[in-house]
Structure formats: structure tokens, C-alpha cells
Amino acid sequence: MVFGTLRRYFSMRHQNSNKVQTLYDHCNTIFSSFETHPPSSQALQKLASILDTVQPADVGLIEESADDDRGHGFFGINQLNRVARWAQPITYVDIHECDNFTMCMFCFPTSSVIPLHDHPGMTVFSKLLYGSLHVKAYDWVEPPCIVESKGPGSAQARLAKLSVDKVLTAPCETLVLYPKHGGNLHCFTAVTPCAVLDILSPPYREYEGRKCTYYHDYPYSAFSTGKGPGIEISMICDDEAEEYAWLAEIETPDDLYMRQGKYAGPVIQL
């Protein structure tokens, strides 16, 4: 009986390891030469399909009671040490990072927010592992339409169109955003405790022009005039106004708190 239990235990670990390893292997294959040979749509679809099958346990995540709204799943921390566990609202867990892609997780307590930010020149896959998450995402209107925003400094604001505005509840399909469509600028708000597995390619690299920039979104009605080749603001009808917003760059929000978590999933063979 003991032997049978151990065999099932190691079998489950092997299956989980294979799933994470398969995810890594596919990313390593399709993103290894993204600068000269961008991944095909079929390769990206396959990656999304693999992510669709990933469960919390596959990446070493332990989901706790859904009615404990202070947070979930810190890694490598004593479960009884609740003060330490809930000291920060969002936990960031690095799974793998290289020059071609990043694999990571975010664990959100209820109502925590990753503010509106961009992914310049990047493709991002976001798999909701458990819980419910509100996603609001925009894409830039092209060609650019720019106005002077109100407030200190009179920063510029650029017109964007709403791409996603919905609550996701696990299990659900993987979200994918692309450099110019699919909601490249997005905001995550935890409706319940939840966790997201992200794959980003290429990764953020400020010296290569891929800096994470944060934005404030103003309603379309906040401004009446703008400038931009081929854009006439008056062409947007009142009944379409809710689909547009003006995004102004801001500093990294002071209330964005993250702490590093320890990855406890299967080891990836590089």
C-alpha cells in the first residue's frame, strides 16, 4: 500500500514536471530567434493551448480558502506566519527569465491592483490559475491622436480604444496581447484572491526600448480637441465614446507594492 501511494505521488510529480517542461521547451523553441524569425500564429496558438491546461499545482501553487481575502499562496513561507505572509498585497514569483522570454506568476489578494501599463513591442500570455480577475485593456489608436492633459505639468494624453473590459473567472482561456492589438495596455484588479501565470516575449529591457510605463486613463469626454494625422475627433459618435479613452503617462504609482515569492514548482531542465 505504501509503495502504491509513493508511486502515485512520483507519477503526479512527473506529470506536473512534464507540463511545465513542455511549456518551457515550446517557449524556448518559438522565441529563441524572435528578432529574425517571429513566431508563427500556429506556434503562438499552441503555446496558448498548453497554458490552458496548466493548473495551480503544476507550478507549485497551493490555493487556500477563497473566503480569506487577504491573499494567497506565498512560497516557502511558514503558513502559520500570517504577519509575514500578508505584509505585501501582491507576490511576484519568477519562474524563468532569459534574453528571449520571461515566465512568472503574480498572486493577488482581493482588491489589489496592477495599474494600467504597457508592453512595448511585446507579446504576452496571461493564464488565470484560480479566482476572479477584472481585466481592462486598451490599444493605441493609429495614427496617434494627442492632446494636452489637465493637471500638473500638462502632460500629453494619447487616444486609445478599449479592447477588453471584463471579469475572468478560472478556469478560462488564456489571454493573449500583441504589440499592436489585443489590449497591449492593461490593468488587473483582483475581484477575489487569484493568481496569474504570465509569459512575456521579448522581456522588459529598458536599454532595448522596452520600459514598463504606467498610465492614467481619462474618459473620452475629458478633452474636446486633439491633433494627429488622419484623425478627426468629431468623427467619433457619442454612442461610441465609451470605447475610447485618453491615456496620460504617470510615474510608477506609490501604492504599487510587490514582494518576491519563491517558486516551488517542478525544476525546469534548461
Phi and psi angles of residue 163, each rounded to the nearest 5 degrees, phi first: -110, -40
Query: Does residue 86 sit within a domain?
Result: yes
CA nearest 136: which of 110, 157, 112, 164?
164
Query: Does residue 132 sit within a domain?
Result: yes
What is the CATH classification number for the domain harbouring 255? 2.60.120.10
- Average pLDDT on 103-116 reads 95
How many separate domains does the chain show? Answer: 1
Query: Does residue 85 sit within a domain?
Result: yes
pLDDT tens column, 119-153:
999 999 999 999 999 999 999 999 999 887 555 55
CA separation for the pair 26, 11 (Å, rounded) = 22
Query: Does residue 192 sit within a domain?
Result: yes
Query: Does residue 89 sit within a domain?
Result: yes
pLDDT tens column, 181-199:
999 999 999 999 999 999 9
Q: Tell me, what's the pLDDT at 252?
A: 92
- Three-point CA angle 221, 225, 227, nearest 5°: 130
pLDDT tens column, 256-269:
889 999 999 999 99
- Average pLDDT on 230-235 reads 49
* Position 113 pLDDT exceeds 80: yes
Task: Out of 106-120, 153-167, 207-221, 226-240, pick the least confident.
Answer: 226-240
Query: Does residue 267 sit within a domain?
Result: no
Query: Does residue 268 sit within a domain?
Result: no
Q: Tell me, what's the pLDDT at 12?
A: 40
Q: What percent of the chain has pLDDT over 70?
A: 76
